[in-house]
Amino acid sequence: MFPLGRSALCVRGGYGLLAPREVGARGVARIPLVLFVITALVIGSVWCATPVAAWADSKDDRAEQNALADADAGFGLTDFTRYQTGNNRPVEGEDIGYRYPLDDDADVVIAVTAEGKALVFMDEEASIEAGFAAEGADDADVFRALAEELDERAAKGGETLADNPGREWTISTASEAAVGPYRVRVGVAAGGRRYVSVIPAEMPEGSTPAAAAEQQGLDLSEALSWVDTARLVPASAVTGSAEATLGEQAANFFSGLDMRPFWVSLKTSAVALVITFILGLFAAWKTMGASSRLKGVLDSVFTIPMVLPPTVCGFLLLLIFGNATPLGRWLIAHGVSLVFTWEAAVIAAVVVSFPLMYRTALGAFESLDASMLDAARTLGWSEARIFRRLMMPLAWPSIAAGTVLAFARAMGEFGCTLFFAGNYAGVTQTIPIAIYFEWMSGNTDVALFWVIVVILFSFVVVLFINLYTARSLRYRERGGTTRRARSAQHDEAARAEEPAGDVLRIDRAALRSLIKDAAASPREGGR
Amino acid sequence: MKDLLISRRSIAGLGAAAAAAALAGCGNTPAEGSAEAAGSAPAKSTSDGVQLQVFAANSLEKAMPEVEALYTEQTGVTFADTQYKGSGDLVEQMRGGAPVDILITASAGTMDDAEEAGLVDADTREDMFVNDLVIVRAEGSDIEISSLEDVASVDGNIAIGEPGAVPAGKYANQALASVGLYTEDEGEGGEYDASIADKVVQADKVGTAAQYVSTGDCAIGFVYTSDVYRYDGIEVAYTCPAESHKAIVYPGAVATGSENADAAADFLAFCMDNEDALAIWAEYGFELA
């Protein structure tokens, strides 16, 4: 946060002072405004989508999904549920055979046999109430069409009623039917609930379905492929089956969207960035001052996470902090239990983004003119002050670019985070991890949404780097390293010497005035 | 001038700090509504009740959240973000030190591994579901498979779970071995027959294998019957005979490291006994063992 805030300040300050002299600066100064608007748009679009867990309102969605009516025929089906399998557990100690659940108010059951026949069991009262004429061929066809459509919606990819146009349909008001060696019974009451159950057709006196099936070598679960249950109602009782408009679909999509990956990403990379920024600059500064042999070693150590695959970093971190190694166990025993926590995600992000910060800062520091730093030393400046007042301002454009890159890298971290911090929604699930797992679970639209967010974000980042670099270039050409330097009028000649195009090139005039100022001011110099 | 500069800087600093604080605040709000997963450790007790961390086989990804929601509604026990991965990955993640209350895997073998490593309490182990291994094709595809041998003549890639981490892949290899298309009867550590070797695409989860077929990257894939119900655009082409592979069971157990072992055992019992939970399993095609 700090570097971004600070750069914005520099730009604003520059605008205020330069505007009277140079009208061209106006355009440059609009850049942060444009950036701000774009960023706000991205964040705003994400913000507007209220974060709700994906399943929170699935009940309502379902009610609309599993109801359908035919206005002409005057009846419809609601509460349509499809059970792919049943089970043969006894209900409160009572063996009722292989059973499928049946809701209390369901009055239609479609049992699809292994041979592909559709057996429809219909409650007589309900069919009269709904105005369904069992004998009328038209009503049967309408019923079949409704059932096929609803079954398709509930099939979740399994075989559907509509798959087989030649399917044999039998509609009856009976409560049981024989299917080969099996008997299918509807509305079997047990334990205060109702079931659709399959038992052997031949049941010896006193035997249980399970025992009889075993005796006859039958597998009760094989009698039926699946069972649909529903309520038969007058068409007027069915609501909300209208197709959702595009706007509603979008609203549904956004209200069902889990926004936590965005916040986790932002929080993780913001914290990681603060750590990376401080560590990276410090490491670069100290490495620069080190002897050449030590420098080689330090440099390799600091840079290696950049060349290693992130999964290797993740694996190493897991070995260090995980439960599988003595070191990890020792750490866990001493209260350092980091694996699969949010802190782990931050550490992973720091490890992979650190080299970017470090390399850019080191490169910028090394390209500073050493004689100038020495000159500052002869004036009695402390090393810390040289770093703060000389190296940082001069290397700032590169450091700012490095910071943005490090932030983007932290934001995009995947392999190391997944290894070390896992995929916990709302805790360690960042946007890249969400993209992968949403796609894997078949939620392609959610994955696509996150991809678009990331592309927009990356676009803003690249735009920022380019515009900021361009701005610093012009700023620098004008001799604007510090405010006071700008007030000096003698920079015309200095600028002529200075070839444009290299942001790291030092503005000698600015530096001169800077050192002169510092020497002239006892308060500053004394510190 | 100088003072002005400093004051502007400090204002910017304050602004940045305020922004950071606001960010942190925002970050927490969205999490509250759902899994109460705010905070750093994924699995821990919240002040107002027990929170369970479930590690479940990838194939349970669509059904389990509904059962959990039902349980939360009835008892108030909440769930940290449940992990759905290949069973082998889950065991490795537990070995790595992830806090877990309940483990449900898709094969006896992976649960054996967890038991041997002392990660789960063997006394609480129970076989929860059975499943069938099927070969799926993209919906409307004209690929016909009437026996396992037909796999060799399929034109296109074959998605199979990575046998080390994905039990479905191991079962698939066992089925292939039964017709000589894989060298190891155990389904692991062998080689595919030359006729299919360069067509096999390994997936890191059974869901990934289903997804490969759904997107058309693979022509056929070996998945469970229950996977057909949770991915759009795939259909069963062939059901592998039960004798071609080991019985597919889903064992569940309470983790030894669980701080809420009793609550975890209660939830496992709920999964198996509650009639509403059973209805959810039935909807998603999980047959109780």
CA neighbor of B192 nearest in space, from B240, B246, B152, B156: B152
Residue B69 lies in a domain: yes
Chain B residue numbers with beta carbons less than 8 Å from the beta carbon of A156 are 62, 228-230, 284
Structure-token pair, residue A238:
């069915």
**What is the mean predicted confidence (pLDDT) over B241-258?**
90
* ipTM field: 0.71
**Per the CB < 8 Å rule, is A484 touching B1?**
yes
Better-predicted residue by pLDDT, B187 or A508: B187
Interface probe for B, chosen from A420, A427, A428, A445 (most Cβ of B below 10 Å), is: A427
**What is the mean predicted confidence (pLDDT) over A108-114?**
88
- The answer to whether residues A326 and A230 belong to one domain is no
- The answer to whether residues B189 and B261 belong to one domain is no
- The answer to whether residues A165 and A303 belong to one domain is no
CA distance linking residue A76 with residue A108, whole number of Å = 11
Q: For residue B70, name the pLDDT band (cuts at 50, 70, 90).
A: very high
Nearest to A157 among B27, B229, B275 (CB): B229
Dmax (CA) of chain A: 115
Å between A51 CA and nearest CA of chain B: 6
CA distance linking residue B76 with residue B98, whole number of Å = 24
Interface probe for A, chosen from B81, B213, B217, B281 (most Cβ of A below 10 Å), is: B81
Q: Supply the CATH number for residue B89's domain.
A: 3.40.190.10
CA distance linking residue A15 with residue B248, whole number of Å = 71
pLDDT at residue B156 is higher than 70: yes
The percent of residues in chain A predicted with pLDDT above 90, rounded, is: 11
Which residues, 6 or more positions from A364, have their beta carbon under 8 angstroms from its beta carbon?
Answer: A395, A398, A399, A402, A504
pLDDT tens per residue, range A137-148: 778 888 888 888
Going by their DSSP bridges, the two strands B102-104 and B54-57 should be labelled as parallel
CA distance linking residue B254 with residue B54, whole number of Å = 9
pLDDT tens per residue, range A227-268: 898 888 888 777 654 566 778 888 888 888 888 899 999 999
Q: Supply the CATH number for residue A357's domain.
A: 1.10.3720.10
pLDDT tens per residue, range B25-39: 443 333 333 333 333
Which residues, 6 or more positions from A225, have their beta carbon under 8 angstroms from its beta carbon?
Answer: A112, A113, A114, A116, A159
pLDDT at residue B14 is higher than 50: no
B272 to chain A: closest CA residue: A89
Structure-token pair, residue A234:
């007058």
| B262: containing domain | 51-130+248-288
Which residues, 6 or more positions from A306, have their beta carbon under 8 angstroms from its beta carbon?
Answer: A352, A355, A356, A359
**What is the mean predicted confidence (pLDDT) over A167-176?**
85
**What is the mean predicted confidence (pLDDT) over A504-524?**
62
pLDDT at residue A334 is higher than 90: no
Q: What is the pLDDT of residue A44?
A: 57
Q: For residue A35, name the pLDDT band (cuts at 50, 70, 90).
A: low
pLDDT tens per residue, range B171-222: 999 999 999 899 988 888 888 988 888 899 999 888 889 989 988 899 999 9
- The answer to whether residues A8 and A95 belong to one domain is no
CA neighbor of A268 nearest in space, from A504, A121, A434: A434
Chain B residue numbers with beta carbons less than 8 Å from the beta carbon of A2 are 13, 16
Residue B38 lies in a domain: no
Identify the domain boundary among B210, B228, B244.
Answer: B244
| A199: containing domain | 59-244
- The answer to whether residues A38 and A163 belong to one domain is no
Chain A residue numbers with beta carbons less than 8 Å from the beta carbon of B234 are 157
* Residues pairing with A226 in the sheet: A112
**What is the mean predicted confidence (pLDDT) over A170-189?**
86
**Any alpha helices (H) in A155-245, and if so which ranges?**
209-216
pLDDT at residue A457 is higher than 80: yes
Better-predicted residue by pLDDT, A420 or A10: A420
Q: What is the pLDDT of residue A496?
A: 47
**What is the mean predicted confidence (pLDDT) over A6-33?**
39
- The answer to whether residues A262 and A123 belong to one domain is no
CA distance linking residue A266 with residue B72, whole number of Å = 30
- The answer to whether residues A161 and A206 belong to one domain is yes
Å between B68 CA and nearest CA of chain A: 11
- The answer to whether residues B228 and B201 belong to one domain is yes
- The answer to whether residues B202 and B234 belong to one domain is yes
pLDDT tens per residue, range A198-214: 888 888 877 888 888 88
CB pairs under 8 A between A and B: 186
pLDDT at residue B103 is higher than 90: yes
Q: What is the pLDDT of residue A518?
A: 66
**What is the mean predicted confidence (pLDDT) over A501-511?**
57
- The answer to whether residues B88 and B126 belong to one domain is yes
- The dihedral region occupied by A119, where left means phi > 0, alpha psi between -120 and 50, and beta the remainder, is beta
- The answer to whether residues A330 and A389 belong to one domain is yes
Q: What is the pLDDT of residue B253?
A: 94
Q: What is the pLDDT of residue A213?
A: 84
How many domains, chain B? 2
Residue A405 lies in a domain: yes
- The answer to whether residues A284 and A399 belong to one domain is yes
pLDDT at residue A312 is higher than 70: yes
Chain B residue numbers with beta carbons less than 8 Å from the beta carbon of A328 are 97
- The answer to whether residues A462 and A504 belong to one domain is yes
Q: What is the pLDDT of residue A105?
A: 82
List the A182-190 sheet strands across, edge first.
A98-102, A193-200, A182-190, A176-179
How much is the pTM? 0.69
**What is the mean predicted confidence (pLDDT) over A61-74?**
71
Which residue, chain included where needed, has tokens 């971004």? Answer: A4
Q: What is the pLDDT of residue A475?
A: 63
pLDDT at residue A383 is higher than 50: yes
The percent of residues in chain B predicted with pLDDT above 90, rounded, is: 30
Identify the domain boundary among B228, B244, B260.
Answer: B244
- The answer to whether residues A152 and A274 belong to one domain is no
A34-57 burial code (b ≥16 CB/10 A, e <16): ebeebbeebeeebeebebbbebee
| Alpha-carbon distances of A24 from A34, A474, A491, rounded to whole Å | 17, 10, 19
**Per the CB < 8 Å rule, is B228 touching A221?**
no
Q: What is the pLDDT of residue B24?
A: 42
CA neighbor of A448 nearest in space, from A268, A265, A257: A257
Q: What is the pLDDT of residue A278?
A: 94
pLDDT at residue A48 is higher than 60: no
Which residue, chain included where needed, has tokens 């069963």? Answer: B236
Chain B residue numbers with beta carbons less than 8 Å from the beta carbon of A87 are 278, 281-282, 287-288
Answer whether A299's CB lies under 8 Å from A311's CB: no
| Burial label, A493 (beta-carbon count in 10 A; 0-12, 13-18, 19+) | exposed
- The answer to whether residues B197 and B282 belong to one domain is no
pLDDT at residue A437 is higher than 50: yes
pLDDT at residue A155 is higher than 90: no
CA distance linking residue A75 with residue B117, whole number of Å = 59
How many domains, chain A? 2
- The answer to whether residues A34 and A106 belong to one domain is no
Residue B82 lies in a domain: yes
**Per the CB < 8 Å rule, is A87 touching B278?**
yes
Answer whether B88's CB lies under 8 Å from B165's CB: yes
- The answer to whether residues A137 and A180 belong to one domain is yes
Residue A251 lies in a domain: no
- The answer to whether residues B123 and B254 belong to one domain is yes
pLDDT at residue A31 is higher than 60: no
CA distance linking residue A154 with residue A151, whole number of Å = 5
Report CA dihedral (B109, B277, A249, B26) to the nearest 10 degrees.
-80
**Per the CB < 8 Å rule, is B81 touching A191?**
no
Chain A residue numbers with beta carbons less than 8 Å from the beta carbon of B81 are 423-427, 429
Which residues, 6 or more positions from A469, have their beta carbon under 8 angstroms from its beta carbon?
Answer: A397, A401, A503
As a whole number, the mean pLDDT across chain A is 77
Q: What is the pLDDT of residue A240?
A: 56
The secondary structure of chain B in percent helix, strand, coil, rounded to multiples of 5, reads 45, 20, 35
φ and ψ at residue A119, rounded to 5 degrees: -100, 115
